[in-house]
Amino acid sequence: MSTKAPTIGVVSLGCPKALVDSERIITRLRSEGYSLSATYEGADLVVVNTCGFLDSAKAESLDAIGEAIAENGKVIVTGCLGKEESLIRAAHPKVLEITGPHQYEAVVGAVHTHLPQLHDPKIDLVPEGGYRLTPRHYAYLKISEGCNNRCTFCIIPSIRGDLVSRPANAVLKEAESLVKAGVKELLVISQDTSAYGVDVKYAESKWKDRMVRAKFYDLCKELGELGAWVRLHYVYPYPHVDEVVGLMAEGKILPYLDIPFQHASPNVLKAMRRPANQDKVLDRIKKWRDICPDLTIRSSFIVGFPGETEDDFETLLDFIEEAEIDRAGVFKYENVEGAPSRDLPDHVDQDDVNDRYDRFMEVQTTLAHARLQSMIGKTVDGICDGWDEDAEAYAFRTKADAPEIDGVTYVDSDDEIAEGTITQLEILGGEGHEMVGALVEK
Ligand code: SF4
């Protein structure tokens, strides 16, 4: 009998939430003695974790499955697109098994069936904090699955179901072991972070010597005690976010909020069925900036949603200027299959969508430029993401920059700087989303 450990490859597509799912699958399989391969040739079987959020993401997932079949032959599919088994089977009949999102047990079971594990799992091979696909110094921390909202452009609730919050002590235990394993920055994610605990009526659980409620504020406060940067993603402008901004002002968690506003015109927001009362959003943002003047707000927006008029679009442009949205991503509306918005009247002509997208980008670029200019000469904390070959400099991020989606500050240094080093930088200049800084001598 062969003693070589069975080897799996994992292709992970989609959002950070899907990435966390892949990490869990890998952690579980690795703990059972499976080896990992970064190549198709080196793997006995490949797991493809798919994304099904947009039609373009579906196409990318189907391509990835086809490539894995061509290069390896033994393929198990999981993730959001797994809900659409017939679509996958029609395109790729040779796929061994298909499971949906968060079906860890089912994925692992499918791997056992098609690639049996060795008798003696080498549990001690798993590092503290589990296996992660992110660099060693930052990690995504998923606090809940699913979503209770029903935004008309989104099919996530139909794929992932209603909100299911993890117990506070389970989240904190994972966060603590990540920090012990060297993580310096925790990126809190879910579909609706500020709704954390609503489904379990904010149930308490025991953490250390105290009881902690599964509540947005309570969790943030405890996470803020772990000694790492804590960054919040996918927050909605509910009133109770105010008290969390207070924690930011106290320096407990990063002064950063990722709020996917998606639009600002009441007509469009209504048609989108967005959560949280958006009427007083400008007042709320002003209040947050009063509480915490360093606050950075990142957001994403959709242009060309069905029924969006020129007036609605102008309202959106005014909003990003008035609210001083620091970082704005924009997407052209996509007519996602299965999304209720497909059936809405007055779809916007594609030329108008493209035109609005370009105009949004123009305003956004002007705002980003002004923001960057205001940073020049300031001293800020930065975290090192390592050496950047192309820039021939160390890449840092400030507290205002999340990994992958925001800006970078390049720093020249003759001394080696380890990934995850947090130090002070003086901002010297820059352009677009890239700044140039210098280490501040201590
Ligand atoms: S909040 Fe809306 S867009 Fe986000 S996952 Fe829930 S339904 Fe989808």
Paired tokens of 11 = 């292709």
C-alpha span between 371 and 405 (Å, rounded):
16
Between the CA of 273 and the centroid of ligand 1 the distance, in Å, is 10
Q: What pTM was estimated for this model as a whole?
A: 0.75
> Which protein residue has the closest C-alpha to ligand 1 atom 5?
191
Which atom from ligand 1 is nearest to the alpha carbon of 262?
3
pLDDT mean over 404-426: 94
> Which protein residue has the closest C-alpha to ligand 1 atom 8?
154
Is it the case that residue 129 has pLDDT exceeding 80?
no
pLDDT value of position 122: 45
C-alpha span between 383 and 386 (Å, rounded):
9
Q: What are the tens digits of pLDDT across the range 203-247?
A: 999 899 999 999 999 999 999 999 999 999 999 988 889 999 999
Which of the listed residues 80, 162, 192, 302 should we mutate to test ligand 1's pocket, taking the one with most ligand atoms within 8 A of CB? 192
C-alpha span between 122 and 110 (Å, rounded):
20
Residues with a CB atom less than 6 Å from ligand 1: 147, 149-151, 154, 156-157, 191-192, 275
Question: Exposed e or buried b for every residue in 61-88, given b needs 16+ CB within 10 A?
Answer: bbebbbebbeebebbbbbbbbbbbeebb
Between the CA of 390 and the centroid of ligand 1 the distance, in Å, is 37
Which atom from ligand 1 is nearest to the alpha carbon of 150?
7
Report how far apart the first and last C-alpha atoms of the chain are (Å, whole number).
Answer: 60
Which atom from ligand 1 is nearest to the alpha carbon of 234?
4
Between the CA of 161 and the centroid of ligand 1 the distance, in Å, is 11
Residue 165 φ/ψ, nearest 5 degrees: -85, 140
Rounded mean pLDDT of the chain? 90
Higher pLDDT, 75 or 275: 75
Q: What are the tens digits of pLDDT across the range 4-55?
A: 778 999 999 887 778 888 888 888 888 777 888 989 999 999 999 998 777 8
pLDDT mean over 132-140: 83
Q: What are the tens digits of pLDDT across the range 300-358?
A: 999 999 999 999 999 999 999 999 999 999 999 999 888 999 999 999 999 999 999 99
Is it the case that residue 2 has pLDDT exceeding 50?
no
Residue 358 burial by CB count (10 A; 0-12/13-18/19+): exposed, middle or buried? exposed
Between the CA of 154 and the centroid of ligand 1 the distance, in Å, is 6
Which atom from ligand 1 is nearest to the alpha carbon of 160?
5
